[in-house]
Amino acid sequence: MRDFDLVRKNLFRKPLRTILLTVSIFMAFLIFGLLTSLNVALNRASETGAASNRLIVSNKINFTQPLPIAYVNRIAATRGVTGVTHSSWFGAYYQDQRASRFVGFAVDPETYMAIYANDIRLTDVERKAFIAERTGVIVGKALADQYGWKVGQTIPISSNIYVQPDGRRSWDMKISGIFTGAKPTDSTASLYFHYDYLNETSSFGRDQIGNVAVRTASADLNNSVAKAIDNAFANSPYETSTVDEKTFGQAFLKQAGDLNFIVTIVVAAAFAAILMIVSTTLVSAMRERTKEIGVMKTLGFSSPRVLRMVLGEALLLSTMGAVLGLAVSAFVLVALSKSPAASTFGDLTMSPLVALAGLLMAITLGLITGAIPAVSALRMSIVDALNRR
């Protein structure tokens, strides 16, 4: 009988105990696979479409604070700037605020389409219609598919921030176009409409914007342009902070919490609990088989061979739980990625690096949990093993 057969039979000697331990490890790796893949997808989404020669100017206090719209022309006059546009977060939702919130921005259509022409794909007809129609809105394909919206349809889009003078929170908008991203994995769960339409009809926040997007002549000029912009508004009531687009996207995600830290804490807590459970159980199981180990050594099994077999049990156990957990999390992510709401995260799948990291963690977990019982079996003499009760 091969050593692997002995390892397998010893591991499943008590099927219920093995199943419970496998389920515990499975849950830990299911959590790891889902949270880590979500974190990777969010970080990837924040970097997707971030041009190297684009900067974002926002309020120095916090990017949720407004800037005067008059800043746009002053920023456009900065040396090294070849284009500017602005946008304002709308807090958009459709009909049900709790169930249908999505990304919505009030923008200047002409300049926004010029700056983000490669990221927001529209036909020429749709682009011209959007610019010409005061109440026009362009919606992403994922959003249009989710709600069944069509070009030419008028839809009420509500805001959890802005209010009209009559108390209404919804604005009627005519769909001028349905856009796609530069890549199939780009998020299209968003919409864009005219800033002037919002500015003229909102009861507050007149002539204020959320941030300014700046296109520079070259990425090499980013630092000098950013310093020039921030210096121009230093000591003003609305001081600015200018960063590259990638940095701004990451800061935007962190408003919901530092997901890297959250994932680390949750995964660490799960694995610490599993480590203690599995280690304690394996030590207890090994004590039950003390005499068997003595018999094996009497029959000629060397101490290193016994050590390898004990470690093999722990490795087989952790690997089974890990493979099941990672496989199920991969299937769950595939299912979630088909949901229109999940398009906000872009490509919501498990990357090979995440799977590889999970397998390496499984091997590490097996070695750690099997270390104590394995060393105990290695050091155990035949006489002590046979005399122990």
Which residue in this structure is represented by tokens 């684009």? 54
Q: Tell me the sheet residues that pair with 154.
A: 174
- The full length of the chain comes to 389
Q: How far is CA 235 from the centre of its chain?
A: 37
Could you state, in order of their start, the residue ranges of all structural domains in the chain? 3-45+258-387, 61-238
Q: How many CB atoms lie within 10 A of CB 203?
A: 12
Contact indicator for 175, 138 with CB cutoff of 8 Å: yes
Residue from 350, 325, 330 nearest 27 by CA: 325
The residues of the chain scoring below 50 in pLDDT are none
pLDDT for position 142: 87
Contact indicator for 270, 27 with CB cutoff of 8 Å: yes
Rounded-to-integer distance, Cα 100 and Cα 341, Å: 9
Instruction: Give one DSSP letter per residue of 186-202, joined into a string.
Output: S---EEEEEHHHHHHH-
pLDDT for position 311: 80
pLDDT for position 290: 64
pLDDT for position 214: 95
Q: How far is CA 332 from the centre of its chain?
A: 15
pLDDT for position 245: 85
| Helix 15-47, helix 245-254: angle, nearest 10 | 140
